[in-house]
Amino acid sequence: MITPVISLAAARALHLAAQGLLSPIKRRAKPNDVVTTIQRMGLLQIDTISVVARSPYLVLFSRLGDYQPEWLEQALASRQLFEYWAHEACFLPIEDFGLLRHRMLHPQGMGWKYSEEWVQKHQTAMDDLLLHIEAGGPVRSADFNAEKKGNSGWWDWKPEKRHLEILFTAGKLMVAERRNFHRVYDLTERLLPHWDDERHALPAGNAQQEMLSRTCRYLGIFRAEWLADYYRLKRVAPKMLLASLQQQGEIMPVVIDGLDGDFYVHHSLAQELQLAERGALKSSVTTLLSPFDPVVWDRRRALELFNFDYRLECYTPKEKRQYGYFTLPVLQRGELIGRIDAKMHRRQGIFEVISFHPQAKVRFGKQRAQDLRQAITRSAKWHGAKQVALGDIPAQLAVEWREGWEVE
């Protein structure tokens, strides 16, 4: 069988097709689209920074357009989703609980998220906390009095908060719901009364192979080195699995013109691959991405596939930032063309573009300028803004856009 040869632009389009970013949704979003979108990506990373909408809401907006953010919390509360450590802290489809359960049953390998020393020192208090939840129902960290706050980060959490987090990592507690984005914890056995570890949990080795196999579908097009990062797997050698998947027809090799190395396409994109070979597969989506979107969270993959060298600078001292606090990658018709540092001023109803830094050699023709303005406007409107305010943007756009515009 002749190995297909595709262009780099077609490879990008295949990845975006797998991620639900090939073409805009053509109907009004519905609540179940939230769950379907997460199932398509496999997981949805959680982050609490709220200078614009929090990351999980932004990732969904990029794919669903105008939707109601509370649908995410409703899906969690109705047990269609659950939270756990996957790529990082993530929302995941509830049917994947067994896929992650081995991490909960053996949390000693979870790094800072679990401390055996803390458990041994505070076992009685943690047992009492479980009894308190069993008798009194779900709790929040805020339900417990805070001690004096120190300055050394999470180690200064009040003991009950750390108890809750460790019990969550160990799978004894789950997040039952979120209130104002704060976790509400309840007993796993109460939320999933029919769960049986002996019957339902995948052994670690099987789960790891399944994660790698699923990642092939979530990425759509990939090389072996890209697979482990999706679920933060360590010390994996996927080549034997890839050979097996290829033999089963789950994946097929492909050559990307301009990129070295062995690449594969998942069989779910077989029709799209045929279009890609003819140069007929193109993305028509222009949107602002979250820094924690699967398309860009693997910095090496983003650089190799999109020639986009991206780094989130919110944890970098202000004087050392190159682009801004919370820059949003700009996806325009299959290309990552730059990054926007934005802020939503909720009281004033203003969506501020603090700065826009295009990639080198990006030019702003009529189509690109129009796409970008429409994307900013859609995002601003979804945020509830009445006005877009512009700061440091390329001169070519500043001439046309001036200081901003009203959001209709």
Q: Are residues 265 and 329 in the same domain?
A: no
Please choose, from the candidates 169, 176, 161, the residue with its C-alpha nearest in 3D space to the C-alpha of residue 125.
161
Continuous segment of H or E residues that includes residue 183? strand 182-187
Q: Are residues 362 and 256 in the same domain?
A: no
Q: Are residues 256 and 151 in the same domain?
A: yes
Q: Write out pLDDT tens, residues 294-307.
A: 999 999 999 999 99
Find the CATH number of the domain harbouring 341. Answer: 3.40.630
22 located within any domain: yes
158 located within any domain: yes
What's the pLDDT score for residue 99? 98
287 located within any domain: no
Summarize the confidence of residues 143-164 as an average pLDDT: 69
User: Is the model's pLDDT at 154 over the cut of 50?
Assistant: no
Contacts of residue 148, Cβ cutoff 8 Å, sequence gap at least 6: none
Q: Are residues 244 and 326 in the same domain?
A: no
324 located within any domain: yes
Summarize the confidence of residues 343-353 as an average pLDDT: 98
The domain in which residue 334 lies consists of 311-408
Burial class (CB in 10 A: 0-12, 13-18, 19+), 95: exposed
Q: Are residues 167 and 249 in the same domain?
A: yes
Continuous segment of H or E residues that includes residue 398? helix 395-401
Under a CB-based contact definition with an 8 Å cutoff, are residues 195 and 188 in contact?
yes
SS3 291: coil
What's the pLDDT score for residue 145? 79
Q: Are residues 83 and 152 in the same domain?
A: yes
304 located within any domain: no
Question: What is the 8-class DSSP label of residue 353?
Answer: E
What's the pLDDT score for residue 153? 44
Under a CB-based contact definition with an 8 Å cutoff, are residues 12 and 305 in contact?
yes
Indicate the number of domains in the chain: 2
Q: Are residues 212 and 344 in the same domain?
A: no
Residue found under tokens 């602002």 = 288
Q: Are residues 22 and 118 in the same domain?
A: yes
- Residue 213: how many other CB atoms lie within 10 Å: 18
Q: Are residues 338 and 245 in the same domain?
A: no
- Distance of alpha carbon 110 from the chain centroid: 20
Question: What is the 8-class DSSP label of residue 364?
Answer: -
Question: Which tokens is 110 given?
Answer: 């979870």
Q: How confident is the model at residue 152 (pLDDT cuts 50, 70, 90)?
A: very low
* Measured distance CA(120)–CA(126) in Å, rounded: 10
CA distances from residue 228 to 15, 38, 101, 210 in whole angstroms, order as listed:
17, 19, 18, 12
What's the pLDDT score for residue 1? 75
Q: Are residues 278 and 321 in the same domain?
A: no
305 located within any domain: no
297 located within any domain: no
Under a CB-based contact definition with an 8 Å cutoff, are residues 151 and 198 in contact?
no
Radius of gyration of the chain (CA): 23
User: Is the model's pLDDT at 129 over the cut of 60?
Assistant: yes
Q: What is the pTM of this model?
A: 0.95
* Measured distance CA(264)–CA(209) in Å, rounded: 17
Summarize the confidence of residues 322-329 as an average pLDDT: 95
User: Is the model's pLDDT at 181 over the cut of 50?
Assistant: yes
CA angle at 36 for the pair 35 and 42, rounded to the nearest 5°: 85
Given its phi and psi angles, is residue 392 left (phi above 0), alpha (psi -120 to 50 degrees) or beta? beta
137 located within any domain: yes
Summarize the confidence of residues 61-68 as an average pLDDT: 98
Q: Are residues 375 and 332 in the same domain?
A: yes
* Measured distance CA(134)–CA(128) in Å, rounded: 10
User: Is the model's pLDDT at 215 over the cut of 60?
Assistant: yes
Q: Are residues 268 and 358 in the same domain?
A: no
Under a CB-based contact definition with an 8 Å cutoff, are residues 230 and 236 in contact?
no
